[in-house]
Structure 1
Amino acid sequence: MRIEALSRLSGGAIQENWKLTTVFDGGSINGKQDLVLRTDSLSALDVSHGRAQEFALLKAAEDAGVTVPKPLLLCNDLEVIGRPFYLMPFLQGIALGPKVVKDRSIGGDREQLGYRLGRELGCIHSIRPPRNDLSFLPLPSAGPVATAIEDYRTFLDRLDEVRPALEWGMSWCLQNAPEDRSQPVLIHQDFRTGNLLLDQHGLVAILDWEFAAWGDPNSDLGWFCAACWRFGRPDLEAGGISSRAAFYQGYQDETGTVVDDSVVRFWEIMAHIRWAVIALQQGARHHRGEELSLELALTGRIAAELELQILRMTRP
């Protein structure tokens, strides 16, 4: 194999994605192929999986029938590029959230797309522990809400600033957490508009599996429906793409379970808290000098908008 062209793809604040134009001579693959090389950025979040783990997650999702880029090759040899990486096919499509929401020529019929995404998420949730291929994922402890908020507060305690709106939101969630009845399943943890590759017909692939874990399936439903991922279309409550009803129906048809709307809406508040904490983490990477980036610096400023939304959603 020889590489004819190499270019970095846009997006991916936590990981780097590179497009490779390669030529294979003989063997099972022959001729020119466009591939994506995915590797770590200069500084990553502690909760982000390594590339070997993400490769295993892609394989598990593919085996379950989830629409993902096909995982082709994993390389842990640091002598190659200095960091682990894996290869997958380069797929044509658009993922950028604001463009997807505004350009109605992308994604085909939006209600059908919302339904399809509900089924895809249900398919992801069909993967359950224990699994030897995903043994690196720790089993969740009791109380997913309390566990998550403990992690958020640990980070905020290390942050040299006060975030009273976040503290209020976390206290509210602890007091109003629904009864934990769900069995743990594989949750994507970043299933949202912006991580969905679409073309003019519909879904091409579900991207960015670096946060996947065992957990409460309602957290994924709430993350997708959270207002912060609607990109200026608050009327389309399922990711700025479709109605909530279409998304719920697809999920219910795939899983055979009835979606509890009140529980999903609780997890939407948790989604805003989590995204605010991640935004502060991203901003801190820039301000600490770990990775100087205007994108990271601006991401840190999103936290204030998210705090306002948390206050609106939890007001008496």
Structure 2
Amino acid sequence: MEDRRDRLEPWIAGQAGADAVTVTGLRKLSGGAIQENWSADLEIAGGPHAGRHAVVIRTDAPSGVAVSHGRAQEFALFKVAHEAGVTVPEPLWLEPTGTVTGRAFFVMRKADGVAAGHRLVKDDTLGGGRVALAEALGRQLARIHAIRPPRAELDFLEMPEGSPATYAIGRYRAWLDGAGVSKPVLEWGLRWLELNAPPRGEVALCHNDFRTGNYMVDAGGLTAVLDWEFAAWGDPMADLGWFCAPCWRFGARAREAGGVGARDDFYRAYEAESGRPLDRAIVGYWEVMATVRWAVIALQQADRHVSGGETNLELALTAHVVPELELDILDMTKRNPTREPA
């Protein structure tokens, strides 16, 4: 990105209707195993955006996960969410071809705050306090789920056939079979999920990675919901299960709402915003699904490193979380033996 500044500046000027643009302070942000994020300051001369703007340039990583969206799709998701009142950084300009920097990217306003999960679960002052943060997250998720198909802007999203749960099970099983990895506990979990799958219900836009670490907060509250590259039409309860799953509490397991608050506070705000009561048992089902899904993703991440697609220590180490996830799967299915796998 840094060596393409001379091409980036005139491109932004054209998008902003400006006489000239100067890009300063360009630096790669930490995190982003799936995508890369670059912070920058723009000095825009002339046009409707004249002035100084703090932005983030979100671009493709050298290799990716097959189920993640491209930048054009994610840009569309940001636009729809922003219009629906979800707290997301305002999407500004999209470059979908990769001709400017070598990779597709889009530019969005920079949100201030902290996203690091290990900090959020330890610092009670962030997000306006535990109750306020859990409630704010519940409201945000309900606003996301208020976005329903059909939406022409989101016509790239596949509609799951039949039950979203059964659809997800089939995908994870197909990947494990194709990868040729032997994971008996994951197969056990998939069979349990298959036997206990809820019927198809309402379909809504699911963020599909709504968890601690993928939103930002400051001392006053929530400032941004981030990382929409896995969003899809599906069962909205999948998002609640993903958020509440033990694997996304960053060690603060007693705080069942993402490690940052109480499950009841999170649920209460979701129900108030959505106007619909939650079935706790179905959310529990999707917590098992979330744990299986994260285990599969962890194996996929490691495969990106091992296959040579991207040499990256973070990717290589990700697979080491799988044994802990397998223990969680065994524990959750033991505690909820609605129907035991054969």
TMscore range, shorter length: over 0.9
- State whether residues 283 and 301 of structure 1, in contact with CA within 8 Å, keep that contact through their aligned partners in structure 2: no
The amino acid of 1:261's aligned partner reads R
In the alignment, which residue of structure 2 is the partner of 1:209? 228
In structure 1, distance between residues paired with 2:220 and 2:22: 33
1:185 aligns with 2:204: yes
Of the three residues 266, 271, 284, the one matched with 1:247 is 266
Alignment of 1:1-316 (within 5 A): 1-180=21-200, 182-315=201-334
The Cα shift of 1:31 comes to: 2.9
Identical aligned pairs, as a percentage? 53
The Cα shift of 1:76 comes to: 2.0
In structure 2, distance between residues paired with 1:178 and 1:4: 51
Q: Flag the structure with larger Rg.
A: 2
Q: Deviations over 1:65-119 (max 9, x none)?
A: 1100000111124220011110011221110111111122211121111111111
Superposition misfits of 4+ residues, deviation over 6 angstroms = none
Q: Deviations over 1:50-75 (max 9, x none)?
A: 10110000110011111000001111
Runs of 5+ in structure 1 lacking a partner?
none
User: 2:53 is paired with a residue of what secondary structure?
Assistant: strand
The amino acid of 1:107's aligned partner reads G
The Cα shift of 1:233 comes to: 1.2
The Cα shift of 1:32 comes to: 2.5
RMSD (CA atoms): 1.0
Q: Give the TM-score of the pair, scaled to structure 1.
A: 0.97
Q: Deviations over 1:122-181 (max 9, x none)?
A: 10000000111111111121021221111111111122431000000100111112233x
Q: Deviations over 1:2-41 (max 9, x none)?
A: 1122100001100000011221112122233221000110
Q: Give the TM-score of the pair, scaled to structure 2.
A: 0.90
Tell me the number of residue pairs that the alignment of Structure 1 and Structure 2 aligns: 315
The Cα shift of 1:208 comes to: 0.4
The amino acid of 1:247's aligned partner reads F
Q: Deviations over 1:257-310 (max 9, x none)?
A: 100000000100000000000000000100111101110011111111111110
Q: Deviations over 1:184-207 (max 9, x none)?
A: 100000000000111011100000
In structure 2, distance between residues paired with 1:222 and 1:309: 14
In structure 1, distance between residues paired with 2:131 and 2:24: 41
In structure 2, distance between residues paired with 1:106 and 1:178: 36
The amino acid of 2:295's aligned partner reads A
The amino acid of 2:271's aligned partner reads Q
User: 2:191 is paired with a residue of what secondary structure?
Assistant: helix
Tell me whether 212-221 or 32-41 shows the greater mean CA deviation. Answer: 32-41
Runs of 5+ in structure 2 lacking a partner?
1-20, 338-342
In structure 2, distance between residues paired with 1:33 and 1:63: 21
The amino acid of 1:79's aligned partner reads T
The Cα shift of 1:237 comes to: 0.4
In structure 1, distance between residues paired with 2:27 and 2:136: 32
User: 2:127 is paired with a residue of what secondary structure?
Assistant: coil
User: 1:283 is paired with a residue of what secondary structure?
Assistant: helix
In structure 2, distance between residues paired with 1:137 and 1:179: 21
User: 1:102 is paired with a residue of what secondary structure?
Assistant: coil
